[in-house]
Every structure is written in C-alpha cells, then in structure tokens.
Amino acid sequence: MKYVALYKTLLLIQKKANGGKPRKFDTFFAGLVGGYIVFGDRNAINEQVRSTRSHLVHLGKKNRLTYVS
C-alpha cells in the first residue's frame, strides 16, 4: 500500500511539473524512486525476497540449455 501511494504521488508531481502532460519515462522514475524508498531497507522480508531471487537466478543459470549447431 505504501508503494502504490508513493508511486501515484510521484507520477502526479511529475505530471504537474511538465504542464499537465505525462512523459515517456515518468512511470519508470516513479517506480524506481518508490521502490528504492519502500523496498530499499534491509529488513527480514526484503532479505527473504532477495534470497529467493538470487536462488531463482542461480537455478536459471544452472539449468540453461546450450544449443549446438
């Protein structure tokens, strides 16, 4: 919930700063800043997400198929 509120607020601020028109990368920057603020803390939940993500990346690399031509 915190992320969504922050994301929407950042989008609104960027839109107002650009004369009421959204720009191409507004959603990217709002997501980047919002994600950093909300998920950047090192707490138990975020560490668990990081651990799971690193395991999935490792499994993806381990099980990558090699094609021989």
Q: What is the mean pLDDT of the chain?
A: 82
Residue among 44, 32, 34 at smallest CA distance from 4: 34
Q: What is the pLDDT of residues 45-66, one digit of tens each?
A: 777 777 787 777 777 766 665 5
- DSSP-based three-state secondary structure for 58: helix
Model confidence at 17, in pLDDT bands (50, 70, 90)?
very high
Residue type, 46: N
CB 26 within 8 A of CB 19: no
Residues 6+ apart with CB under 8 A from 48: none
pLDDT for the residue numbered 50: 73
> Mean per-residue pLDDT for 24-31?
92
Residue type, 65: L
Per DSSP, 49 falls in state H
Spell out the domain ranges in the chain: 2-62
